[in-house]
Amino acid sequence: MDVLTRYFKILIPVFIITFSSVGADTSGLTDEDKALRDLAKSIREQSSEITIPVNIHQREAKAQAEQLFNSLKEQQPDIFDTRDKRKRIGRILFFASQSMSLEAMEDMFTASTDHLDSAVVFRGVRDPENLSKSIMEIQRIAARQTPVANVMLDPTLYRDYGVDKVPTIIYLDEDKETEIARVSGLTQPDWLLRQVKSGDGKDYGVKGSVHDILERDLIEVMKERVAMIDWEDKKEQAINRYWDKQRYLELPGATRKRTREVDPSILISEDITDANGNVLVAQGTIINPLELRPFTQALVVFDPLDPVQMSLVDQKLPELTSKYPRITLIVTRFNKEKGWESYKSITEHFDSPVFNLTSEVKSRFQLEYTPAIITAAKRHFIIEELTKSEDPAAIVKE
């Protein structure tokens, strides 16, 4: 079979993929960071379609770590074996590197296929910038063996067993964790296994030619990459992406003052029963939410980019503040180009958070024009639309 078409599985342990905690410290947030966090929270409460992750740093760190493996995953979807690592590594570990000769590497792969309870372990790859190419170099060698060798990329095993020279062979206890014996300089395990069988397990030192490890620790490579990330730039990119995705429900400006009543009553179309079939609410019942829970706040819906509407809202707010314990400001749009600055300038102007108008709010209160003041009186919502006109004839009550 063509060696280029025979693939082997390389175990890249889960610790690499979960390397997302690096750079994720959220202590020492600036005022802008906190404001962004609060913005994210408020937007999530309004809309399920648009969210900003509170911890931008963690998300970016994870993305940077996973970037090393994207091309490999495309070629071999099963490469991320999630089975217990101790079951995968076997009792014989062959620590190898591409600093070894081709013949020595082939000897190790052959020995691994002769001992099924074994694995060939690499600390990293020759060129982390070209992961697929580096993997393919090892793949070509392993693919010549039958059955295909069990090969792993796992720098933690090098750390756990203090391996700094190759080739090194380590024989483990049945728990596949406790070291019984080791030897360096050999590519075949037969000599070491004979010593173990005779009851003499220890570190036998160097019994042949050894080499420095060519590949860098893959985890250290990723740490360096994460350390080089410009977090301020990443934060700015995340904010910009948010504003690019933002969608608005813009409404026309009111041309006349108008006050409308909206009846929120709901007609029950079929019986509502409990688990035992008892009717709790009969079909045909009309329920008015305002009779169940009073609406004591005022909602102000407006276009903050319209100077006229801003002026009208400014004039109306003192009156509303004196009458209602809570005022909620809802806007129909922000300046997309200015993004964060637009949001910040509006919130600073009112010294209050502002929220984006959602389709649910628009529909519930049957909003048609802005600025609109939403309050409640008895069984109805009151929608008051504002304009600059002072002519009593221009005031309409519906």
The pLDDT of residue 306 is 94
Comparing CA positions, the residue from 13, 20, 8 lying closest to residue 229 is 20
Give the whole-angstrom CA distance, residue 75 versus residue 122. 20
Write out pLDDT tens, residues 137-185: 888 888 887 787 888 888 999 999 999 999 999 999 988 889 999 999 9
CA gap 333, 373 in Å, rounded: 17
> Residues 37-94: pLDDT tens digits?
444 444 344 333 333 333 334 444 445 445 544 444 444 443 444 345 555 667 999 9
Cα 174–Cα 177–Cα 183 angle in degrees, nearest 5: 90
The one-letter amino acid code at 333 reads: R
Bridge partners, 327 (sequence order): 298
How high is the pLDDT of residue 58? 44
Successive 10-residue mean pLDDT values, the chain, 398 residues: 41 39 41 45 39 39 48 43 55 95 92 89 88 83 81 90 96 91 95 90 93 91 78 74 82 93 87 84 85 90 95 95 94 87 91 91 92 93 86 52
Q: What's the pLDDT score for residue 43?
A: 38
The DSSP bridge partners found for residue 373 are 300, 384
The confidence score (pLDDT) of residue 65 equals 46
Q: Give me the pLDDT at residue 107, please.
A: 92
Instruction: Give all domains of the chain, ordered by start, each with its CATH number.
Output: 3-219 (3.40.30), 258-397 (3.40.30)
Q: How many CA atoms lie within 13 A of 14 on its CB side?
A: 7
